[in-house]
Amino acid sequence: MELSLLQLEAIVRNRICGVCTDRNTEGQCGLDEPSNCALFRLFPEVAAAIQSVQSDDIRVYIQAIRKNVCTVCAAQAADGSCETRQQVQCALDAYLLPVVEAIEEATARSFDRRSVSALHSGPVAGSVIHLGA
């Protein structure tokens, strides 16, 4: 069974929004403009980028996101830099690992999180990792 984009988005929202550091005390999105969340504002591109990859190497997913999502995001400058990402204020960048896991699990694919240890030597489970420029 192939999931629709809306179903995938609901799965990702369920996984990410509950742990997002931008949620308020009521558990709702605490962003001034929730529609500015790059993860969900560009979700069709995010889902397509993740589904285009088949790898246990998170760097391949990062490359796909940078190429297919960040390039169309208004926050990224023409030179590829992104102040939002640099300040760890981009939910897509901050939560990319659990987003990849959620989409891969939902589409019956697998992503081996152990491959991340090469990028990050500290605890990974449930933590926010800045994945670079």
Q: What pLDDT is stored for residue 11 in this prediction?
A: 95
State how far the Cα of 90 lies from the Cα of 130, in Å rounded to an integer: 9
Q: What is the mean pLDDT of residues 15-42?
A: 90
Q: Which residue has the higher pLDDT, 132 or 108?
A: 108
Q: What is the mean pLDDT of residues 4-24?
A: 93
**DSSP class per residue in 38-61:** HHHHTHHHHHHHHHT---S-HHHH
Q: Break the chain into its structural domains and give their ranges.
A: 5-118
Instruction: Summarize pLDDT for 47-88 with one digit per residue, the tens.
Output: 999 999 998 889 999 999 999 999 999 999 999 999 999 998
Q: Which residue has the higher pLDDT, 133 or 30?
A: 30
State how far the Cα of 3 lies from the Cα of 67, in Å rounded to an integer: 24
Tokens of residue 12, six digits: 């990702």
pLDDT band at 1 (very low <50, low <70, confident <90, very high): low
Q: What is the mean pLDDT of residues 37-48?
A: 95
Instruction: Summarize pLDDT for 86-114 with one digit per residue, the tens.
Output: 998 899 999 999 999 999 999 887 766 66
Q: What pLDDT is stored for residue 109 in this prediction?
A: 79
Tell me the CA distances in angstroms from 133 to 9, 10, 43, one per residue in order: 25, 28, 20
